[in-house]
């Protein structure tokens, strides 16, 4: 499917603006290794990055590697991650994926999408985060709530479904921009293009944004 030329031009303007305003934007999840990023990303489901960073500071101090976490009692893991929500299921998944990595991959995170999504608790979004951030491999566009909301407001997608939004963005964005686009959009969403009260007058996209779905007070 060929991308709409007008949307393609709009996407190019957005990429340029993001690069200018958030040149140094990085993944908000604190980690030292690809493995730690993988665990943190699993924990981030239905939870803020800030809360995850608080939790993982204690978790990784006690269990820094896949081998360590694989051997940890699940009740102890649950206690450490409880504040992230859905903690029983998350504890089960991060212990299971740690066992898998420790036993099958020498404790290392595999660098391909198909293998990653077979790990317990790991979906395409999580795999895209890890491959892009930890290894610089652009396998897709990570669509979180900020990326989805702002991409729609800017007229780059008409969908509210993350899978469809990613498909639209892959058509519009150069592959080399896939990783940074998400990091920068997340920063923009937190600082300016907020969910309820976007700071449109302070926004660098003010002149080009159609403000789709934004309530005018």
Q: pLDDT by residue (tens digit) across 92-144? A: 999 999 999 999 999 999 999 999 999 999 999 999 999 999 999 999 999 99
Q: Domain residues for 62?
A: 34-135
49 is catalytic: no
Quote the number of domains for the chain: 2
Residue from 7, 144, 164, 194 carrying the catalytic annotation: 144
176 is catalytic: no
44 exposure class (CB count in 10 Å sphere: 0-12, 13-18, 19+): buried
Residues 93 and 11 in one domain: no
Looking at the domain assignment, is residue 210 inside a domain?
A: no
d(CA 60, CA 81): 11
pLDDT digits (tens, 9 = 90+) for 12-59: 999 999 999 999 999 999 999 999 999 999 999 999 999 999 999 999
Residues 12 and 68 in one domain: no
Residue from 125, 152, 168, 180 carrying the catalytic annotation: 125
Residues 180 and 124 in one domain: no
Helical pair 49-62 and 34-43, crossing angle rounded to 10 deg: 130
Q: For 31, how many CA atoms within 13 A lie in the half-sphere containing its CB?
A: 23
In Å, how far are 17, 127, 139 from 93, measured between CA atoms?
Answer: 38, 14, 23
């Amino acid at each position: 499917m060929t991308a709409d030329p007008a949307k393609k031009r709009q996407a190019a303007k957005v990429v340029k603006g993001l690069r200018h305003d958030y040149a140094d934007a990085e993944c908000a999840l604190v980690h030292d290794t690809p493995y730690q990023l993988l665990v943190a990303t699993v924990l981030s489901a239905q939870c803020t990055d800030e809360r995850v960073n608080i939790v993982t500071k204690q978790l990784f101090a006690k269990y820094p590697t896949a081998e360590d976490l694989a051997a940890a009692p699940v009740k102890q893991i649950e206690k450490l991650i409880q504040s992230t929500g859905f903690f029983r299921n998350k504890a089960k998944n991060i212990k299971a994926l740690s066992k898998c990595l420790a036993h099958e991959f020498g404790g290392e995170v595999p660098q391909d999408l198909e293998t990653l999504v077979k790990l317990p608790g790991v979906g395409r979004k999580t795999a895209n985060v890890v491959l892009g951030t930890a290894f610089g491999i652009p396998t897709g566009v990570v669509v979180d709530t900020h990326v989805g909301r702002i991409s729609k407001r800017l007229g780059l997608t008409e969908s509210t479904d993350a899978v469809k939004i990613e498909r639209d963005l892959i058509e519009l964005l150069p592959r080399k921009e896939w990783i940074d686009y998400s990091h920068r959009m997340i920063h923009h969403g937190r600082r300016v293009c907020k969910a309820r009260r976007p700071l449109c007058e302070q926004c660098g996209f003010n002149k080009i944004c159609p403000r789709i779905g934004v309530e005018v007070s």
